[in-house]
Structure 1
Amino acid sequence: MFAILGMLVVIVSVVTGYLASHGNLLALWQPFEVLIICGAALGAFMTANPLSLQKRVFKMLPRIVLGSRHNKGFYLQLLTLTYCLFQKSRQNGFLAIEEDIENPFSSELFMGFPDVLRDHEVVNFLTDNYRVFALTGLASYEIDAIMDAEIEQMEEELLAPSHAVNKVAEALPGFGIVAAVLGIVITMGSIGGPMEEIGAHVAAALVGTFLGVFFAYGFVGPVSSHLESLGQHEVKALLCLKACLVSSVAGYAPPVAVETGRKLLPADLRPNFSELSDYLKQYR
């Protein structure tokens, strides 16, 4: 919601300043300039990125409006789910949670935490690494190294959409110049005609440069930064799980293992000790 508000502030500020300077708003209405700039930017984006990445970018765009799914409620559920897995495994052995690990999306335990279950990357990371620990019996430092390598790779994938959109933002001023040059070409063909017509063509060409810069720094660049922030939220959830798993493998009790993960959460989204303790009571 704040992203939409920010875009509105950009539009209102620019338009109000332009009108206050006695500008003609209709002079900015150049649909063919928009077609050249946006069409060329979209084509370049499609050329530069594989189809799978394009799909991920468009899939993430609605979350700019909806916000990150990783809020305090999500982290409370994530830590509680991790605690329940550790506690159940500690009391009854790995066989007691084997079915939960193998089929998390049909597991009664996992279905008790719907916010976590909607994040497939986090669920798969938790179950895959818990399975590795249970089947191999690796030491905590070895599990730590494996998860570090996996998180590094996943971070690249999670941040790839923001990098792809940022490349578009960097290219937009150039496409604005392309539109402006084409406008000048049209203008040169009008030399000798009425001055009003020549002036209109020059104005349209300059609008092309304006729109390229405006779209780049007012919208596409900030969208890229927002997508990067969403990706970083995913990474923080993975780091939290890694800390919990490593602590559990090292032999710490489930409440202590979960507490180590809690400390790695972002300060503005981190449930405090009392909140987490109260939430865990209903699962003990």
Structure 2
Amino acid sequence: MIGIIGIAVIFSMVFGGYLAAGGKFGIIMKSLPFEMMMIGGAAIGAFFISNDMGAIKHTAKDIGKVFKGAHWRPDDYRDLLCLLFSLIRTAKQNPIEIEGHIEDPQSSSVFSQYPKILADKEAVNLICDTMRSASMNYDDPHQVEEVLEKRMEANYHHAMHSSHALQTVADGLPALGIVAAVLGVIKTMGSIDQPPEVLGKLIGGALVGTFLGVFLAYGLVGPFAAKVKAVIDEDHHFYQLIREVLVANLHNHAAAVCIEVGRQNTPSHIRPDFAELEEALKAVKKEAA
């Protein structure tokens, strides 16, 4: 919703200011389809050249993040801590039972209580792979933390590709606007024998190209790239929380301590409230009893 509001503000302030200053839409509207075809078409073509099909689909999908925002909400962090608490508690009390949960999470009675987390393949694999390593005595916390860090860094780098791709397009749009403007000037020079009122419209149409390139770069595509990056950074905290809790578990801390370590390392704006989390954990204990 905030993304739509932002776009509305951009258009209303830019074009509203233009109209308030006495500008007329006639020249812009007449030139806009041709300038958009040149600038937009060149930008899309350059985007296709510099990315493979997987990256193109990834970027198109991630544009939705501008309007949807982060995938993981504060309630999801609370649910994640409850899930990890159940798994760690089970692993400490009954190491045999935990194998069924981590080997087949889709059929697990613990994972099934949190369908949104279960639907995220990377989150489930991160939890199961780490707990499986612990059950195989691969329990050096520093080694596991290093492995998790490299894995998460690789996933983060891959997720950021769409933001980088959009930013590359944004960086090129002003130059493409100049290309369109130069073509407009060339067209104008071919009509140099026309009266000033005709030349004025032709020059104005050429300048629409420069305006459009800069406007698209700094008013739309650049902010889109920044928003996608912000959303990816926000969602990355979810996987960092998994790492913090599971590494704490490898240090043989009590389950409640592991959960508190994860909670404390979560940014304040998405950190579950202590009392709220305590009530949720009590419900988990009661259900497991």
> Normalising to structure 2: TM-score of the pair?
0.93
Q: Match of 1:138?
A: 139
Q: Match of 2:16?
A: 16
Q: Match of 2:161?
A: 160
Q: Which amino acid is 1:76 matched to?
A: R
What does 1:1-284 correspond to in 2, within 5 Å?
Answer: 1-29=1-29, 30-93=32-95, 95-284=96-285
Gaps of 5+ in 1: none
Hey, what's the Cα distance between the residues in 1 that align with 2:122 and 2:231? 13
Q: Which amino acid is 1:270 matched to?
A: R
Give SS of 1:138's match.
Answer: coil
Is the 2:176–2:213 Cα contact (8 Å) retained in structure 1?
yes
Give SS of 2:136's match.
Answer: helix
Identity of aligned residues (%): 36
Give SS of 1:16's match.
Answer: helix
What displacement does 1:97 show? 2.5
Q: Which amino acid is 1:31 matched to?
A: P
Give SS of 2:271's match.
Answer: coil
Gaps of 5+ in 2: none
> Normalising to structure 1: TM-score of the pair?
0.95
Hey, what's the Cα distance between the residues in 1 that align with 2:150 and 2:124? 17
What displacement does 1:33 show? 0.2
Runs of 4+ with >6 A deviation: none
Is the 1:158–1:234 Cα contact (8 Å) retained in structure 2?
no
Hey, what's the Cα distance between the residues in 2 that align with 1:191 and 1:250? 80
Hey, what's the Cα distance between the residues in 1 that align with 2:122 and 2:205? 47
Hey, what's the Cα distance between the residues in 2 that align with 1:188 and 1:5? 41
Is the 1:81–1:110 Cα contact (8 Å) retained in structure 2?
yes
What displacement does 1:193 show? 2.5
What displacement does 1:59 show? 1.3
Give SS of 1:108's match.
Answer: coil
Quick check: 118-127 or 223-232, which moved more? 118-127
Is the 2:181–2:209 Cα contact (8 Å) retained in structure 1?
yes
Hey, what's the Cα distance between the residues in 1 that align with 2:135 and 2:202? 71
Q: Between Structure 1 and Structure 2, how many residues are aligned?
A: 283
What displacement does 1:175 show? 0.8
Q: Deviations over 1:192-237 (max 9, x none)?
A: 1243332222111101100110011111111111111111123211
Hey, what's the Cα distance between the residues in 2 that align with 1:25 and 1:118? 49
Q: Which amino acid is 1:68 matched to?
A: A
